[in-house]
């Protein structure tokens, strides 16, 4: 795939400390390939509603920012939807709602779905769990939620874990040997959040000890 970085060891060179949302900064793997291809295939979607699902730090926001950079649109946190926003979306073809949860105003959300439907707009909704698993008080929303294309970002495989570890170390201006990265991958949970937490932990220990990250520091962070 043209967007995939074949040489993982070059990842450190390609990432800036300041977050920027470019295709080349997004590592495509089996875990997120379907979501990446789906968003990049706009507007050739089977339906106008997409639910991008994944745990915290799985790359949902990164993906929708790539999408908005390419195809333009408007984005808002689900909890911030109000009548003013519903007026504002009239001029936008693409709408992104981030971090959908049970705190959303159901009436406003229902109105939003109607606007998207009636005006042939496109909606991307990010969430930790599928929208179809959410029980709405409004029965109409329970049926409308089934209209979403579900795109799930899976737990990271070894290649994506490697890329994420390198990127997070790069963000902290740290370079370590590949053997150390392999060692970490075999010992931490396959969770995006755990990867971020672990990098923070070894960086903190390294700064405290005033020593570069090595097997000893990694083992200490692991509690071994």
- With b meaning 16 or more CB within 10 Å and e meaning fewer, what string describes 19-37? eeeeeebbbbbebbeebbe
pLDDT at residue 115 in the model: 97
**Residue position matching structure tokens 């970085």:** 5
- Of 102, 120, 152, the last residue of a domain is 152
pLDDT at residue 17 in the model: 33
pLDDT at residue 175 in the model: 85
Q: ∠ CA 103-109-111 to the nearest 5 degrees?
A: 155
- The domain tally of the chain equals 2
Three-class SS of residue 109? helix
Sign, CA torsion 66/43/150/115: positive
Tens place of pLDDT per residue across the chain (224 aa): 444 433 443 343 333 334 433 455 788 999 999 999 999 999 999 999 999 999 999 999 999 999 999 999 999 999 999 999 999 999 999 999 999 998 899 999 999 999 999 999 999 999 999 999 999 999 999 999 999 999 999 999 999 999 899 888 888 888 888 999 999 999 999 999 999 999 999 999 999 999 999 999 999 999 87
Q: How far from 72 is each of 91, 148, 183, CA to CA, in Å?
A: 11, 20, 41
Pair (121, 180) in one structural domain: no
pLDDT at residue 14 in the model: 37
Token code pair at residue 56: 């915290």
Side-chain half-sphere CA neighbours of 46 within 13 A: 7
Pair (141, 166) in one structural domain: no
Pair (120, 134) in one structural domain: yes
- Domain for residue 23, yes or no? no
Pair (129, 188) in one structural domain: no
- Domain for residue 39, yes or no? yes
pLDDT at residue 23 in the model: 59
For residue 181, give its domain range: 158-222
DSSP 129: S
pLDDT at residue 5 in the model: 38
Please give the model's pTM, rounded to 2 decimal places.
Answer: 0.84
Pair (36, 147) in one structural domain: yes
- With b meaning 16 or more CB within 10 Å and e meaning fewer, what string describes 131-162? beeeebeeeebeebbebbeebebbebeebbbb
Pair (100, 138) in one structural domain: yes
Closest CA to 158 of 140, 175, 183: 183
């Amino acid at each position: 795939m043209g967007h995939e970085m074949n040489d993982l060891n070059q990842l450190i060179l390609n990432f800036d400390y300041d977050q920027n949302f470019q295709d080349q900064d997004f590592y495509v793997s089996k875990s997120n390939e379907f979501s990446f291809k789906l968003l990049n295939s706009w507007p050739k979607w089977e339906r106008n509603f997409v639910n991008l699902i994944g745990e915290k730090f799985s790359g949902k926001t990164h993906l929708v920012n790539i999408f908005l950079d390419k195809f333009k649109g408007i984005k808002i946190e689900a909890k911030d939807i109000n009548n003013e926003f519903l007026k504002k979306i009239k001029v936008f073809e693409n709408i992104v709602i981030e971090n959908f949860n049970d705190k959303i105003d159901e009436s406003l959300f229902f109105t939003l779905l109607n606007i998207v439907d009636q005006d042939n707009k496109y909606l991307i909704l990010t969430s930790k769990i599928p929208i179809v698993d959410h029980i709405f008080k409004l029965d109409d929303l329970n049926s409308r939620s089934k209209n979403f294309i579900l795109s799930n970002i899976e737990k990271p495989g070894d290649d994506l874990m490697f890329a994420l570890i390198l990127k997070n170390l790069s963000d902290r201006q740290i370079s370590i040997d590949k053997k150390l990265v392999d060692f970490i991958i075999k010992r931490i949970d396959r969770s995006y959040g755990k990867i971020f937490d672990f990098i923070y932990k070894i960086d903190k220990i390294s700064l405290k000890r005033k020593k570069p990250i090595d097997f000893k520091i990694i083992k200490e962070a692991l509690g071994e």
